[in-house]
Chain A
């Protein structure tokens, strides 16, 4: 065999080996492709077996709604239902208002209850479908879903009182101007009383507005607490300050129970607690827990709520809140103040933690 033939033979063997290798690789490649596709399908199938898509869907919608509520509240809107609707879809607001005007067209409001942790949970019936529940995205408590006319009583009464007083004063002033002797001592007394009523009424309204205006930023921040947010921001009227004060105290470990527990005691129709009563209760409980009345009391304290550990605190703004809320600051003794300072020191650490945890 000549050298040329030998070279050709070597090349031929090499080429043949390449062809075989290429064919083997092609077979392996197709086999690999098939395996890969099958493995991918198998992965999806394994997941499909354990995932309840309906439950996932419902959960996503509820979480989305909850986040929307938080956004609305963070913007300082204290009327969650209207706020959510305005944030999410202004074009539907018109329909909602129209439905309110025509009760026959109104869809039945979803019933919500409060569970033991204070979280709203839908009142389920056997015919409830997930789709029906996921519409009820704006959490409204059973108490809140009833008529709210009673909440407007103080405002209406104040307005009526002001109007009557103004009318009386006006009549008496006219009478006095017309013929001073006809008014007499009784008329003067009535005039003075009416003037006092008008001034008192206006002062009360101004005070309430100022308090609300001053407290609003603080309360909005307080409302970020995941557990108590809905309770605090949905509180209105004369009870709002009480809830907010109590919540504020709880955040500083002065009030042992979270506001969610407090709310369980609160139902429409029951006599309302006033700020003084709340603070008395708080001070008494604090004294008990501090052991000043002879009992240890610390065993009664509930463990700190998980949300308290991570949420930012706002001590610098909240200082005068107690005094503004009800003028009961003198009832908070020095031990509580000391405790408050300690808490605020600890809260600084909490703030740092919360900032780091934030994405």
Chain B
């Protein structure tokens, strides 16, 4: 049963949704960005997801997991649609109207966050997906339940993701250190 939108939130329990929405909005958008969405895609997928969560609030047992599963699906669908968008634009000349509802275009990520996003985008999709769920606080068992896989598979994917990312991170750190040393040498030489 979909809850009546016209009744009082405090009386009918949509207060729970309000609370959830307040707590999980940034995290859910961050999850989508970690999956590889750009802020605009993340915003669109987030809106669609939250509308679905809101309309099924009473039937959802674990909203965070449900929202992430839905958001992931919506994002992947929109990606697939966007893949042939250029073709459609060339044929029909119709653009996609996107209204800026969330000010995500103004997001300026801190250095660490930007680095995390960049490193995660270099991972293969499966590993990225598992790592995104893991970073949002889900255990291997929960992730396995959601994906319909064995916990050992999830653990393996996560281990590979961690190791690949750590490797990238170390390389990056070493590159940064080398750059710093070179700059220091140049300064001392000058």
Contact = CB atoms under 8 A, between A and B. Distances in A.
A40 B135 contact: yes
A137 B6 contact: yes
Given A51-B102, A57-B18, A349-B92, A43 B116 contact: yes
Contacts of B6: 84-85, 88, 92, 135-138
B135 A53 contact: no
Contact of A50 (B2, B22, B103, B115): B103
B113 A46 contact: yes
B4 A85 contact: yes
Contacts of A47: 25-27, 29-30, 33, 104, 107
Given A68-B55, A135-B8, A306 B97 contact: yes
A40 B116 contact: yes
A292 interface: no
Interface string A114-140: 000000000000000001001111100
Nearest to A90: B1
Interface in B1-22: 1-9, 18, 21-22
A39 B112 contact: yes
Contacts of B5: 61, 64-65, 68, 84, 88, 135, 137-138
Nearest to B136: A40
Nearest to B88: A356
B94 A309 contact: yes
Count class of interface residues, chain B: 35 or more
B54 A46 contact: no
Contacts of A51: 25-26, 29, 102-104
A318 interface: no
Interface in B139-169: 165-166, 169
B50 interface: yes
Interface in B43-94: 47, 50-51, 54-55, 77, 81, 88, 92, 94
Contacts of B2: 68, 87-89
B166 A29 contact: yes
A75 to B, nearest CB: 14
A28 B112 contact: no
B112 A42 contact: yes
Contacts of B21: 53, 56-57, 60
B129 interface: no
A131 B14 CA distance: 11
A306 to B, nearest CB: 6
B86 to A, nearest CB: 13
A57 B22 contact: yes
A47 B103 CA distance: 10
A46 B101 contact: no
A50 B51 contact: no
A353 B88 contact: yes
A131 B9 contact: yes
A310 interface: yes
B170 to A, nearest CB: 6
B88 A89 contact: no
Contact of B170 (A28, A63, A352): A28
Interface of A: 28-29, 32, 35-36, 38-40, 42-48, 50-54, 56-57, 59-61, 63-65, 67-68, 84-85, 87-89, 91-92, 131, 134-138, 306, 309-310, 349, 352-353, 356-357, 359
